[in-house]
Amino acid sequence: MRRTELLQEVRKMRFEETCGGWQERRLTQEEAARLLGVCERPSCRRPLPSAPPSPPRRAARRFSQTPPGPRRG
């Protein structure tokens, strides 16, 4: 394995470990960014996992109706 490949694998492992700690809320975004050596702001682009997504809402009635026939004019 070449040096560049080895370094890339180390970066991947560090990211996965840091991301896991962040998702489990053991680390703050600032701490995770510092461990990865990046600015805190790009790490904020990915939202924290939250509660499961809510079921989809029903469409408004006006969207579920069939369109009116041609206008007479």
pTM beyond 0.85: the answer is: no
pLDDT digits (tens, 9 = 90+) for 48-73: 555 556 666 666 666 566 666 677 65
Q: Which amino acid is at 73?
A: G
The domains of the chain are located at 3-48
pLDDT digits (tens, 9 = 90+) for 13-36: 998 999 899 888 898 888 888 888
